[in-house]
Structure 1
Amino acid sequence: MVKKILVIRFSSMGDIIYTTPVVRCLKEQLPEAEIHFLTKQQFKYIYNNNPYLDKLHILKPSLNETIADIKKENFDYIIDLHNNLRTSIIKLRTGIPASTYKKERIKKWLALKFKSERFINPKHLVERYLETVAFLGVKNDDKPIDYYINGSYEKTDLLPSSHQQDYVAFIIGATHFTKRMPVEKIIKTCKEIAKPIVLLGGDDVAQNAKTIEEAVGEKIFNTCGKINLDQSVYLVSQAHTVIGFDTGLTHISEAFNKPLVSIWGGTTPELLGVSPYKIKDSLIVDVDLACRPCSKFGLEKCPLGHFNCMNQIKEEEIINFSNR
């Protein structure tokens, strides 16, 4: 009998949100087992309030301390969904039987170098994560990802009355430049969307949001840099439609099964294996170019200078989907 399992994924937001079906399937299909999860401090919010998790562990500054804590728990198995140097050291020094996610680094490198999908594993990241627990008899339950909002909020506290019904949540932030649609194209898109629009993002896009707000007018309500991530997730969960780039909040939105426009620039969902997962209504918007993908995680500028992957995006696709 399996008594205790440790699942490990240290980062990043998007990758960790796609581990939630693994934790859920483990708990539901092995109800007698304790399911624990180890991650970094800055990502613990993803598993706060998750009913399928028995205990959340935080990676400590000293790996020795983390290893000591793991040894005390007497785990039966480690499910390593990160597969890096630190997790290798943890598995080696604890001696706990482990099942490890296959990153397929060479295939991804080949796909980037030759700009060809033929090297890429066609399975979604969730499905590949779940392969690590198949040896326990655990199967994919074909349900969406999980996210549990930490706070208790009301739209009346976060939005003006004009934006409390049937609004579009437009996530304009992303870590890297090549993942973001140019501000001019966002403005053009927003002007043609019939519904009220709530802009979501952090301090890094606060100036962009202000520019969009000034250009589009009252249709826009700007929250960028003004509310926290948990509140942003709540607003996404209440939206009529979500528009977003390749970024964590866009992926989290999939937990709420809202119509989603997923816009891709220098990165591709095929390379990362993170197309919208198990939601009823979604649209992937991108441009088929010989130079895509230019990177796995995004870059600070277009390597070729033209940024056609975003500049050639057809706003009409986004507008038509949002106006249904």
Structure 2
Amino acid sequence: MKNILVIRFSSLGDLVTQDIAYRAFRYFYPKAHIVFLTSSTGRSLYSESNYFDEYIVYDRTNFINTIKLLGKYEFDIVFNSQCSSTSYFLEFFIKSALTLHQSGEWWQKLLRIKTKTKWHPELLEISGIEKIKINSYMRIQENSIIHLPHLQKKFEWKDNNKKTIAVAIGASQRWESKKWGDERYLELINMLTAENHIILLIGSKSEIDSGNKIESQNNAVINLIDKTSLSELKSVLAAVDLLVGNDSGPAHLAAGVGTNTLTLFGSTDVKHCVKFGGYAGSHEYLVATPKLKCQPCYKPRCPTKHECMEAISIEQTAQTIQYLLERK
């Protein structure tokens, strides 16, 4: 039996996009013992899948422990899809017959040499899988669509006679520039509840105050912020009709379970939208029109007056939501 290590401990959205690759790894190595070196987010995200037999959670505060856990194995193959300085450093402590990198060797990164990204079909071929078998697998359309494994659950708030919309009001604490703003979301939510839609607020601990503020001004809102695990959130998003939010992880999570999405873009490029990312469902985005000269700036905090997000109107957002609900 082969021992295989997969390395990826980046952001939620990036981890979601790896679903297609991880599913393929398991398909072509069904009897292998596959270990996933990841973050706590990665473990929660894929806990319902059969992709991995074991999880090693990378702990920045206890680097030695991570090395000890990796030292228990002699791996036949390592798929390093992280390709960061940390992952390259960890490789020095990993016993492996073959190590494959998705985006270049450590010395190429050190010298800032740009390399072609190797996607999972190429990595699988290098690992020893016949190209004809990989091509046959990839010709099946479903094998190129992200389908996050999740549990189907029934919820008290679900009403088949009403549309349910999850609203992700936040973004990571680093990316204040991605946020549309609590006041705009509140006005939008007031319009949606007036139309008898069910509204769920979702988010992390950093959005608790914003969620409480919105809930206090609209008691029809169901506030789930910081009240679900990542596994539970997948089930919630699979049960709603639409996710509306900023360019952040929840959009990828919702799309990953097949739910339609509307993403509001400001400081980042719309090329990151789930509309272009191999997801099932209908996905749209809104961005300042015409595009501003400073956009996209990729600055975590706007140095001016957040003009890009100010330009996305509440009325336009509500109209696009209606369009997507009709497509459900």
- The Cα offsets for residues 187-240 of structure 1, whole Å up to 9 and x where unpaired, read as 23223333221111223222322333344x354222224444443332211101
1:312 aligned to 2:311? yes
Give structure 2 stretches of 5+ with no counterpart.
106-113
- Do the aligned residues in 2 keep the contact of 1:27 with 1:34 (CA within 8 Å)? no
- Do the aligned residues in 2 keep the contact of 1:276 with 1:282 (CA within 8 Å)? no
- The Cα offsets for residues 160-204 of structure 1, whole Å up to 9 and x where unpaired, read as x77994211111121121111112221232233332211112232
Question: Which one of 146, 149, 162 corresponds to residue 148 of structure 2?
Answer: 146
Q: How far apart, in 1, do the equivalents of 2:318 and 2:242 lie? A: 11
1:102 aligned to 2:107? no
- Do the aligned residues in 2 keep the contact of 1:171 with 1:242 (CA within 8 Å)? yes
Please give the residue correspondences for 1:265-304 in structure 2 after superposition, counting only pairs within 5 Å.
265-270=266-271, 275-287=276-288, 288-295=291-298, 299=300, 301-303=301-303
Give structure 1 stretches of 5+ with no counterpart.
105-119
- Do the aligned residues in 1 keep the contact of 2:41 with 2:230 (CA within 8 Å)? no
Please give the residue correspondences for 1:39-118 in structure 2 after superposition, counting only pairs within 5 Å.
39-41=38-40, 43-60=42-59, 61-94=61-94, 96=96, 97-102=98-103
- Do the aligned residues in 1 keep the contact of 2:45 with 2:230 (CA within 8 Å)? no
Please give the residue correspondences for 1:233-272 in structure 2 after superposition, counting only pairs within 5 Å.
233-270=234-271
RMSD of Structure 2 on Structure 1 (CA): 3.2
1:322 aligned to 2:321? yes
Specify the alignment match of 1:155 in structure 2: 155
- The Cα offsets for residues 78-123 of structure 1, whole Å up to 9 and x where unpaired, read as 111111222112223435221112289xxxxxxxxxxxxxxx99x9
Q: How far apart, in 1, do the equivalents of 2:210 and 2:65 lie? A: 42
Q: How far apart, in 2, do the equivalents of 1:272 and 1:281 lie? A: 12
- Pairwise CA distance, 1:54: 1.9
- Pairwise CA distance, 1:314: 3.3
TM-score (normalizing by structure 2): 0.77
* Percent of residue pairs bearing the same amino acid type: 20
**Secondary structure class of the residue paired with 2:234:** helix
Q: How far apart, in 2, do the equivalents of 1:237 and 1:62 lie? A: 35
- Do the aligned residues in 2 keep the contact of 1:257 with 1:279 (CA within 8 Å)? yes
- Do the aligned residues in 1 keep the contact of 2:203 with 2:224 (CA within 8 Å)? yes
Question: Which one of 201, 204, 222 corresponds to residue 202 of structure 1?
Answer: 204
Q: How far apart, in 1, do the equivalents of 2:121 and 2:188 lie? A: 38
The change in CA–CA distance for 1:312 and 1:245 in structure 2 (over 3 A counts) is same
The change in CA–CA distance for 1:308 and 1:233 in structure 2 (over 3 A counts) is same
Specify the alignment match of 2:179 in structure 1: 180
- Pairwise CA distance, 1:262: 1.6
Query: Once structures 1 and 2 are overlaid, which stretch shifts more, 252-261 or 41-50?
Result: 41-50
Q: How far apart, in 2, do the equivalents of 1:251 and 1:31 lie? A: 27
The change in CA–CA distance for 1:37 and 1:282 in structure 2 (over 3 A counts) is same
- The Cα offsets for residues 262-295 of structure 1, whole Å up to 9 and x where unpaired, read as 2222122426999453222110222222212222
